[in-house]
Amino acid sequence: MANHRIGRTTEDIKRELTAIFRELKDPRVTSSFISIVRVEVTNDLSYCTVYVSALEGLEKAKNACRGLDSASGYIRRELGLRLKLRHVPSLIFTATDSIEYSAEISRILNSLDIKEIEDEDDNIS
């Protein structure tokens, strides 16, 4: 039962953080297209690790995390107002390059000539 509650709380935190990020005015956060990749909450709800990725790369994500760290008090207060939690977890922002990595894989897949392979499969059948 506790895992279900933690999972639901994690999804609620991710949804509200996405909305809060849109309202921030820090240029380090608003200048790049950032996305929350994953949110992990400890079992006692004392810490929340937020994995942030930027389309422009890891350096922009790290810069955005510095901006989010400086606004963490405001973000935590807003999170407490929006969610009915007894204890709002401390936020830890971690930069990741997963969006850039996914975009690179997509570029590689799009550069492959798949039509030739599909034509060969049709001829075999």
Question: What is the total count of domains within the chain?
Answer: 1
- 58-75, pLDDT tens digit by residue? 899 999 999 999 999 999
The side-by-side arrangement of strands in the sheet containing 47-54 is: 34-41, 47-54, 90-96
Choice between 99 and 86, residue whose per-residue pLDDT is larger: 86
- 4-57, pLDDT tens digit by residue? 888 899 999 999 999 999 999 988 888 888 899 999 999 888 999 999 998 888
Write down the pLDDT at residue 2: 66
Q: What CATH number does residue 81 fall under?
A: 3.30.300.20
Token pair of 40 as six digits: 């992990």
Cα(82)–Cα(76) distance, integer angstroms? 10
80: closest CA among 104, 45, 105, 117?
Answer: 45
Write down the pLDDT at residue 5: 83
Domain that holds residue 84: 2-124
- Model's pTM, two decimal places? 0.77
